[in-house]
Structures are given as structure tokens and as C-alpha cells.
Structure 1
Amino acid sequence: MITFSIFDAVFFILLATFSLRGFFKGFLKEIFSFIIWVSSLALAWGLRQFPIELLNINSSMLLAETFFFILFFIIFFILLVLIFKVISFAFNPKTFISNVIGFFLGLIKFYIFTIILFLSADEYIIDKYWWNSSIVSPYIYNSSILIGNIIGEIPMEDLDNFAIEPSKLVD
């Protein structure tokens, strides 16, 4: 049965937060924020294995990659925020059109953020009641499939004994 669950409430609160934040920040600042998020994610993803190879870490590869991804994301995020703060002082995005466009960009940024969260935790949440009874979960699921088809297969390197339980597969 599909109902309005706690997941839906959190989803809509975060959606409103990201969207209103984009509205009040305006288009230019929201563009800078979007660039910061995407750049930080891309740089962190690209460099996550560098310290593992440099330091010759042999312990849990997944844990080490996750740690360095988060560490690099935070470092690049803070660095890029400082850089774009300096750049944003050159602009004054206080017009209504800029704020409306910023609202929609904030909405898109939240949507991408939600899909990334789903893709990283889909195996855990796919069987949960709060997910299955959610109003927005089918839309997130379908969007993640669409994004997955656009991105394509991510190569699974250096995974020993990788297996997926048949019960976790979706038809």
C-alpha cells in the first residue's frame, strides 16, 4: 500500500530546503554552488584511489576508498567554496528572474543528490516498508534507472568474489 511515509516527509522537506535556498541565493550563486558540488564530487571520485596506491594500503579497499572519497570531497568542497565566494562578490544576483532560475537549479541539484543517495544505498532500502510505501520512491527509482542508462556500466575493478544475490535483482 502506498502512503505518505516519513521518507516522503524528509524528501519534501529537503526538496523545499534546496529549492528555497536556490530561490533566495539566486541564479548565479546557485550556478556556482552547483559547479562546486559537481566539481568536488568529480575530483574526489577521480582521486579516491591515489592515496591507496601511494601509501600501499592493503586493508579493506572499499573502506579506504570511501574514506578518501569523503576526505577529498570535503577538502575540495571547502576549497572551491572559498574560491567561488571571492568570485561571487563580483556579482549581485538580487533580481527576481535570477532568484526563480536559482530556485529551479536548487530543485535540480536536490534531485541529483537524491538519485545519488538512492544509487549508493539501493540494496539497503529497496526492501524497506517506508521505501515501498512512499509516494515519491517510484519516481526516484525510475529516474535512477534513466540516469544509470545514460551513465552506463561502471567497471568493477579489483573486487574479489563479487556476487549479487538473486533476491536483490529487480526485473
Structure 2
Amino acid sequence: MSSFSAIPSMRRVSLLAILLALGGAAYAASESGSVRVVDPRCEYLKDPLGVDVRQPRLSWRLEALDSAARGQKQTAYQIQVASTRALLEQGKPDLWDSGMVASDRSAHVIYSGKPLTSGAQCFWMVKVKDENGVESAWSTLSHWTMGLLEPSDWSARWIGSD
């Protein structure tokens, strides 16, 4: 008979409950604050191609980490934008780092970084501070691709018989 099966079943259930609680606490600790940033969008779209405005509008939604809690809100945000996924993942946003901006705004936040060019790829993330001033984790990495911004970027020939 193994030593585990000798433990009375009530003690096994208690041990299992403790382990599950510790696992849940470890998961919750991996996300800080009371909210998480979800659904990052550029010009109302998820990862759009061909964005034709020089200063796109960025937005996101918040989700409560504790569904039973009430009163969570955003008090500040920070946006980082880089020209490559690798730069952003390394914490080196070469196009824009807003710094922490005291604002509850999460929609129509205008890109205010370096001028964007036709065809440029932009990778971005956002994090927020909650009502207690605690920073959330960064959002998932999102991206957008700029469209053709200058008339000179367009080059085509008519299709038809000569």
C-alpha cells in the first residue's frame, strides 16, 4: 500500500483544495492591478492593413481581473509603438513611447509618434493604471500597416487594348 493512499480521503481533499488555491493565487499574481487591457484596435479594426491616416486612432477595452469586483477604472495609460515586433518585445519602441499619460481615455487616442510613411508596419502595446495607481500587464502585441499616403506612391497603367 502506498503512503499516499494511507492518507484519509478528507485530508487528500483538503490538500487538493490548498494546491488549487495556491495555483489560482499564483496565476492572479502574474497579472497586476484590477484590470487587464483587451481588444486593442487601430482605426476601429483589429490589426488593419492599409491605414490611410497619418495619425491613426488607437483604442482598447478593459476587463476586470475579478469579475465580482466593482468600480475598476483606468486612470492612466502608456502606449509603445515600434517598427518591428522584435524591438517592441525588447522594450525598445522606436516610433513612439507615450510615457504614462494621466487619462481615463481608452478610445480615439491619437498616435503622436514619429511621422509614419507609406507601407510602414507598426507594432504596438498598451498598459494602464487602475483606480489604485497599480499598473496592468501590457496588452497583447498588435499591429497595423500603413497604406499609400502620397499621390506619388500610386503607380499604375491603364488596363485595356492599345
Pick the TM interval, shorter chain. Answer: under 0.3
Q: Which has the larger radius of gyration?
A: 2
- Normalized per residue, which structure has more helix? 1
- Normalized per residue, which structure has more strand? 2
TM-score by length of 2: 0.26
Higher RCO, 1 vs 2 (CA within 8 Å, ≥6 residues apart): 1
TM-score by length of 1: 0.25
